Structure 1
Amino acid sequence: MTGVIGKKKRWRRHPAPPLKPRSPAVIGCERAAAGPEPPLSRPKERTPGDARPGAVEGRSGAVPGPGPSADSRVSPAGKAQHGLKEQYRVGSLLGRGGFGSVFAATRLSDGAPVAIKRVPRNRVRHWDQLPDGTSAPLEIVLLHKVSTGFPGVAQLLEWLELPNDIIMVLERPERCQDLWHFIRARGFLSEEVARELFRQVLEAVQHCTSCGVLHRDIKPGNILVDLATGQAKLIDFGCGTYLQDTAYTHFAGTPSYSPPEWTHFGWYYGKPATIWSLGILLHQMVCGEHPFRKGQNISWDHQLLLPERLSQECQDLIRRCLTMLDVDRPSLEDLFCDPWMQDIHLP
């Protein structure tokens, strides 16, 4: 993260394209049985004299970009919090969960809409280092990796560490709706609308994969739809971790989207587990409901019943994604080439 202001007690801004209406980062996982595999603890603070690990006054980060202009002042916690109020007008609550709260806000310098996510520091279990060596919550490190101007992922504009809270400022579209409410308002989506949104989600997942990031909580509530442009955006990396080739033995995410190998055996591989959650997502798009009843223990011989109104290609794709054996599920590349994604109708 080149260009980071040297002193610890400053905003840290992340590079991104000129600010357009983007997504609020809604609150993360319903439950995390355990956090990401690596790292398991916060790296040791590099500042000498701290009374305890992580004892800071008002640490923050910024790189030159579309966020508020860099401020070279050293900001202790009180001044940093006051500076936040000077730069943003905080509005209504957008979401609240076990990991914090998200508020709509307006950047006072130009009136741009943003989302401000506030996470209590004592709920941040996993820390890592940014490229410049700065210790930061893992969610911020992951966002730094994927916030490269790609339109299908929420962009982190800046962040601030206070004694009791971590503050993240993210993009937010002026007119937006998460996919869960988008579907609910319509009952279900036509295959044409679902195909376009699903393709955008696949592109976002592919981008994260190329950055070495596993989201782990793909669901309608974590996908934002810009109602003005139709752009879908993957948000909330609070359950994310690094992508690895070996099996994960800890789960973080929403239980009803966890794959059967986790439920039955206590392990899962990142890519097949993602395909399983994408299958549930597609089912919710075109059917308007989750394919499995809440609390249902999916059996190995389960039969997935789908509406006859769905094309055979759409039904086939959903069933392929929701195959019980993870090795039999398609890859992300397979999904892009699937006949339904190409709008090809087989004889």
Structure 2
Amino acid sequence: MTSDRWQPQQPDKFLQVSAAAGPEPPLSRPRERTPGDARPGAVEGRSGAVPGPGPSADSRVSPAGKAQHGLKEQYRVGSLLGRGGFGSVFAATRLSDGAPVAIKRVPRNRVRHWDQLPNGTSAPLEIVLLHKVSTGFPGVAQLLEWLELPKDIIMVLERPERCQDLWHFIRARGFLSEEVARELFRQVLEAVQHCTSCGVLHRDIKPENILVDLATGQAKLIDFGCGTYLQDTAYTHFAGTPSYSPPEWTHFGWYYGKPATIWSLGILLHQMVCGEHPFRRGQNISWDHQLSLPERLSQECQDLIRRCLTMLDVDRPSLEDIFCDPWMQDIHLP
């Protein structure tokens, strides 16, 4: 069954926590710290405590204990939304104003990489990356607050009232019409471009990590647990979902961030308009593979998918090229 217009669905889940390997530190990590890089309107989380109205009356309680107590006072935690190798995500409600949020809990022993926030606070790399991209941009789920407990790292993230991840959104329809797919794909491209401009590489772009606000149609990129800093040199460690890894990683053990992202975007677009992953599970993609696409797809859509899934990474389009592609402009070539 296909859909040619926006059809709101019941919310399904917010985050699916990736079970892939953790992020690697880049070969040359940027260390700049910009004083003006704070998140507008966000609660400035601190390692070991949640910002609150004032100190606890019980001075015998540890800072982490106070933080945990403060968390329960500020949020009502609801059902489990997702669980994976990095931890668990729960639906929650902010008690002060009834706003829906998601609370992600990551065991401290699963945090492989730490860095510093602009104020000098040590934090897990995922939080540092979220801090860089959480600048009020609507296409990325905003980090509202975070805290450090003795055994867990807690992240509080925005969560639309009625939402569904893109995997379930596609599954409910079989596949998406080119019109609906184009609008959602454009938003994902804008989110990736925003992350790139912030020096962040997501590394796990897939339908499960794209949230659709069912009331507005806004797409949001979520789960930066596999993310790292964007670098110009090659990466020699993989983090993400193996079935979305580019052929250069599979065959040679290295990849460059930008063309690897384009490969995953090609798989994403294929899933949107075809309803399935272009490569069978466990399939070793050969250099002479021929991608078979449904005849119902416009030639422009087929061409864009094939360009993104070009085996040679230097032959793949850039993000700017995709924005200007005829299919993205809804131009039909003669």
Q: Indicate if the aligned counterparts of 1:128 and 1:141 stay in contact, CA closer than 8 A.
A: yes
The structural deviation recorded for 1:23 is: 14
Q: How does 1:223-238 map to 2 (within 5 A)?
A: 223-238=210-225
Scaled by the length of structure 1, the TM-score of the pair is 0.82
Alpha-carbon deviations, 1:264-307, whole Å to 9, x = none? 00000000000000000000000000000000000000000000
The structural deviation recorded for 1:35 is: 3.9
Cα distance between partner residues in 2 of 1:36 and 1:180? 23
Q: Alignment partner of 1:59: what SS?
A: coil
Cα distance between partner residues in 2 of 1:42 and 1:244? 8
The structural deviation recorded for 1:87 is: 0.5
The structural deviation recorded for 1:60 is: 3.2
Alpha-carbon deviations, 1:215-255, whole Å to 9, x = none? 00000000000000000000000000000000000000000
CA 1:205–1:143 in structure 2 vs 1: closer, same or farther (change >3 Å)?
same
Q: Indicate if the aligned counterparts of 1:143 and 1:156 stay in contact, CA closer than 8 A.
A: yes
The structural deviation recorded for 1:50 is: 29
Q: Give the unaligned 5+ runs of structure 2.
A: 12-18
The structural deviation recorded for 1:79 is: 1.8
The structural deviation recorded for 1:38 is: 1.9
Q: Indicate if the aligned counterparts of 1:22 and 1:172 stay in contact, CA closer than 8 A.
A: no
CA 1:336–1:50 in structure 2 vs 1: closer, same or farther (change >3 Å)?
closer
The structural deviation recorded for 1:76 is: 1.4
Q: Alignment partner of 2:79: what SS?
A: strand
Runs of 4+ in structure 1 over 4 Å off = 20-24, 39-59, 61-75
Q: Alignment partner of 1:305: what SS?
A: coil
Alpha-carbon deviations, 1:112-162, whole Å to 9, x = none? 000000000000000000111110000000000000000000100000000
Q: Indicate if the aligned counterparts of 1:42 and 1:126 stay in contact, CA closer than 8 A.
A: no
Could you tell me the percent identity over the aligned residues?
97
The answer for the alignment partner of 2:15 in structure 1 is none
Scaled by the length of structure 2, the TM-score of the pair is 0.85
Structure 2 residue 2 is the aligned partner of structure 1 residue 2: yes
Residue number among 293, 297, 305 corresponding to 1:310 in the alignment: 297
CA 1:224–1:44 in structure 2 vs 1: closer, same or farther (change >3 Å)?
closer
The answer for the alignment partner of 1:252 in structure 2 is 239
CA 1:334–1:122 in structure 2 vs 1: closer, same or farther (change >3 Å)?
same
The structural deviation recorded for 1:33 is: 6.8
Cα distance between partner residues in 2 of 1:212 and 1:123? 24
Alpha-carbon deviations, 1:183-225, whole Å to 9, x = none? 0000000000000000000000000000000000000000000
Q: Indicate if the aligned counterparts of 2:9 and 2:214 stay in contact, CA closer than 8 A.
A: no
Let me know the Cα RMSD of the aligned residues. Answer: 8.3
The structural deviation recorded for 1:90 is: 0.2
Residue number among 104, 108, 111 corresponding to 2:91 in the alignment: 104
Q: How does 1:144-293 map to 2 (within 5 A)?
A: 144-293=131-280
The structural deviation recorded for 1:68 is: 16
The structural deviation recorded for 1:82 is: 1.2
Q: Indicate if the aligned counterparts of 1:93 and 1:102 stay in contact, CA closer than 8 A.
A: yes
Q: Alignment partner of 1:60: what SS?
A: coil
Q: Indicate if the aligned counterparts of 2:162 and 2:214 stay in contact, CA closer than 8 A.
A: yes
CA 1:250–1:56 in structure 2 vs 1: closer, same or farther (change >3 Å)?
farther
Count of residue pairs the alignment pairs up: 326
Cα distance between partner residues in 1 of 2:293 and 2:184? 20
CA 1:230–1:313 in structure 2 vs 1: closer, same or farther (change >3 Å)?
same
Alpha-carbon deviations, 1:62-90, whole Å to 9, x = none? 99999999999996122211111110000
Q: Give the unaligned 5+ runs of structure 1.
A: 4-9, 12-19, 25-31
Q: Indicate if the aligned counterparts of 2:47 and 2:123 stay in contact, CA closer than 8 A.
A: no
Cα distance between partner residues in 2 of 1:96 and 1:324? 33
The structural deviation recorded for 1:36 is: 3.2
Q: How does 1:18-167 map to 2 (within 5 A)?
A: 35-38=22-25, 60=47, 76-167=63-154
Cα distance between partner residues in 2 of 1:278 and 1:52? 28
